[in-house]
């Protein structure tokens, strides 16, 4: 009887010991399954209140723009990074703001907004600043904006032409379009000594349009001149004005070859003496060369429209641009819709050449492989160019002179309406972010163990979230330690691809992971980890076997006891 009890205790101890051994993961790892998971990043906790502008309902000069930028960065350093990309002719810093969740430290899809190539289009700077606030104030308040900021790098350059901005805002020179490199237009050895001036003190430099009035029923336009005096006493008025180069004609694609430029240094569209002659365009060039943008905006004013780059036959991407025009017509106000449809089906897909010589969008498309570099024209007051906006300054039997005083409100709304304009054009900025090519990826292991020599079968369901813009370049799937698998492939906008691949492990995944990176320079790169799965069925076979052995032993002993 004593022997039987001892035997029972021994058998029970052995079975219990086997259960404990079976729970040790190292003894069952040989049959553990591999799994793939996205790299985990810490959550960003919002610590800031909504930002407001220091100068609202107000046009900013350069000093005030810098104050706004400093406040933005100091308030939300978790999302905002600043980079001085160059200086203006007069040495003012040109700053790019990168807005992204910096906890997710990897290369992401990139979106771009650059404002104020032209001095007098200061509304573009105001809209750029409000776009930045829109992103920061909606982070973790709006799920869509939060996703954009988490998974994209959004670059905003609030102004490119700060020198001219100051002359426009502070001095009221609302005609100034070009940068402030001085130039001796009339060749008298002096620089800018004969500018347009407000001689009657009404705060506006008027434009005078001269017509041949020999037939009053049908006057014929002859020329125009501006309010001013003959400062240098050479018998001419305003022949050596401030400003030199139109920055939006100074890029090196089709420079002095396409349309929309003039060799006259006094012209508003003079392209400079050589491509990238100006420090402002050099700064943007050097910045852009370090990035890949599938879609980008350059903000302007002077019309309600959106312009796309052209070639000799019309649109460079006729199908894409035509579809985007329809999108804009749906999301922007009717005043924009009318202009968009002006690029409509009657000129599609072919039309008269409209290659804009040396322009930003031409360079971005032909040199930087940006598929949709869009010139977003934000504003024009149509009433400012209506017939009633012109008043008769002088008339006689030979000449009719009409005076025009609306240069300010032609390009810019009055300050109290800036926020209203932002609300009208805001959907266009959502559209930019939504159409930046980026990926949604579902990855899983179909079969395969985590041990060296095992063949792991992987499946990737990859979707391009951009509705219109393709992946731009081939998407690669690369594993660390010189593992390369899956042939590169491209994705159209709003499309997906199912990729099945096998990879043979060189080492066990016990206490080790294999990094897998998916994407390209346009979509950004998405990081995954191939590792040993935890809690899989292979870890339970030993305790089950031991439990069965214990149960059988107890039953057998009970029978013997009987």
Instruction: For residue 529, give its domain range.
Output: 2-43+438-538
**Number of domains the chain is built from:** 1
Mark residue 146 as left, alpha or beta (left: phi above 0; alpha: psi -120 to 50; beta: remaining). Answer: alpha
Contact between 197 and 235 (Cβ < 8 Å):
no
pTM of the model: 0.88
Residue 507, in any domain of the structure: yes
pLDDT reading at 277 higher than 90: yes
Residue 203, in any domain of the structure: no
Q: Residue 477's domain is classified under what CATH number? A: 2.60.40
Residue 513, in any domain of the structure: yes
Distance CA(351)–CA(286), nearest Å, equals: 33
pLDDT reading at 560 higher than 60: no
Q: Per residue in 10-21, pLDDT tens?
A: 445 444 444 444
Residue 259, in any domain of the structure: no
Nearest Cα residue to 410 out of 106, 168, 195, 214? 168
Q: DSSP class of residue 417?
A: G
What angle, 0 to 180 degrees and rounded to 10, lies between the N-to-C axes of helices 123-138 and 143-151? 100
Residue 333, in any domain of the structure: no
pLDDT reading at 25 higher than 80: no
Distance CA(206)–CA(197), nearest Å, equals: 9
Contact between 209 and 390 (Cβ < 8 Å):
yes
Nearest Cα residue to 443 out of 429, 457, 430? 457
pLDDT of residue 550: 40
Residue 310, in any domain of the structure: no
pLDDT of residue 335: 66
Radius of gyration of the chain (CA): 34
Distance CA(436)–CA(295), nearest Å, equals: 6
Residue 398, in any domain of the structure: no
Q: Which residues pair with 449 in a beta bridge?
A: 33
Q: Is 404 helix (H, G, I), strand (E, B) or coil?
A: strand
Which of the residue ranges 209-213, 296-300, 418-422, 509-513 would you say has the lowest mean pLDDT?
A: 509-513
Contact between 271 and 247 (Cβ < 8 Å):
no
pLDDT of residue 341: 36
pLDDT band of residue 469 (cuts 50, 70, 90) is very high
User: What single string gives the DSSP state of each residue in 444-499?
Assistant: EEEE-BSSTTPEEEEEEEEEE--SS---SS-BEEEETTTEE-S--B---TT-EEEE
Q: What are phi and psi of 425, to 5 degrees?
A: -95, -5
Per-residue pLDDT, averaged over 223-246, amounts to: 86
Per-residue pLDDT, averaged over 143-152, amounts to: 97
Which of the residue ranges 171-175, 336-340, 521-525, 549-553 would you say has the lowest mean pLDDT?
A: 549-553
Q: Per residue in 83-139, pLDDT tens?
A: 999 999 999 999 999 999 999 989 999 999 999 999 999 999 999 999 999 999 999
Residue 506, in any domain of the structure: yes
């Amino acid at each position: 009887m004593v022997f039987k009890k001892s035997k029972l205790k021994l058998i029970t101890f052995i079975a219990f010991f086997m259960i404990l051994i079976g729970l040790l993961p190292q003894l069952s790892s040989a049959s553990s399954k591999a799994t793939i998971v996205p790299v985990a990043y810490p959550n960003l906790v919002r610590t800031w209140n909504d930002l407001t502008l220091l100068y609202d309902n107000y046009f900013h000069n350069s000093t005030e723009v810098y104050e706004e930028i400093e406040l933005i960065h100091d308030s939300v350093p978790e999302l905002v990074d600043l980079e001085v990309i160059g200086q203006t002719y007069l040495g003012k810093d040109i700053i790019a703001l990168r807005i992204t969740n910096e906890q997710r430290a990897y290369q992401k899809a990139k979106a771009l907004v650059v404002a104020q190539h032209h001095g007098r289009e200061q509304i573009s700077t105001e809209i750029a600043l409000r776009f930045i606030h829109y992103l920061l104030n909606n982070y973790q308040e709006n799920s869509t904006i939060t996703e954009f900021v988490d998974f994209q790098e959004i670059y905003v350059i609030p102004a490119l032409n700060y020198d001219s901005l100051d002359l426009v805002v502070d001095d009221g020179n609302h005609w100034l379009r070009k940068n402030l490199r001085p130039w001796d237009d009339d060749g008298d050895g002096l620089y800018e000594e004969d500018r347009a001036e407000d001689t009657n003190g009404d705060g506006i430099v008027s434009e005078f349009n001269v017509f041949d009035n020999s037939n009053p029923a049908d006057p014929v336009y002859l020329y125009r001149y501006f309010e001013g005096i003959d400062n240098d006493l050479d018998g001419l008025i305003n022949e050596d004005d401030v400003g030199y180069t139109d920055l939006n004609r100074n890029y090196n694609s089709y420079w002095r070859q396409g349309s929309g430029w003039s060799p006259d240094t006094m012209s508003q569209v003079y392209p400079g003496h050589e491509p990238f002659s100006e420090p402002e365009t050099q700064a943007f060039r050097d910045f852009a060369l370090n990035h890949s943008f599938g879609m980008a905006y350059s903000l302007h004013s002077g019309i309600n429209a959106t312009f796309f780059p052209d070639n000799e036959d019309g649109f460079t991407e006729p199908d894409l641009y035509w579809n985007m025009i329809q999108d804009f017509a749906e999301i922007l106000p009717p005043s924009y819709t009318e202009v968009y449809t002006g690029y409509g089906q009657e000129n599609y897909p072919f039309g008269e050449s409209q290659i804009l010589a040396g322009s930003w969008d031409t360079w971005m498309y032909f040199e930087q492989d940006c598929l949709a570099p869009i010139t977003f024209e934000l504003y024009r007051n149509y009433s400012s160019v209506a017939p009633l906006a012109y008043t008769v300054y002088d008339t006689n039997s030979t000449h009719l002179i009409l005076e025009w005083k609306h240069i300010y409100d032609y390009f810019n709304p009055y300050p109290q309406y800036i926020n209203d304009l932002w609300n009208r054009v805001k959907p266009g900025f959502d559209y930019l972010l939504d159409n930046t090519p980026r990926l949604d990826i579902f990855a899983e292991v179909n079969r395969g163990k985590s041990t060296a020599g095992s063949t792991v079968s992987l499946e990737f369901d990859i979707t391009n979230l951009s509705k219109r813009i393709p992946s731009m370049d081939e998407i690669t799937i690369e594993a660390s330690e010189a593992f390369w698998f899956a042939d590169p492939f491209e994705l159209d906008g709003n499309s997906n691809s199912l990729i099945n691949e096998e990879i043979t492990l060189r080492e066990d995944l016990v206490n080790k992971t294999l990094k897998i990176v998916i994407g390209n320079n346009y979509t950004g790169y998405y990081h995954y980890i191939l590792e040993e799965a935890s809690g899989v069925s292979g870890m339970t076979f030993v305790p089950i076997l031991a439990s069965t052995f214990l149960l059988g032993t107890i039953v057998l002993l009970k029978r013997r006891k009987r």
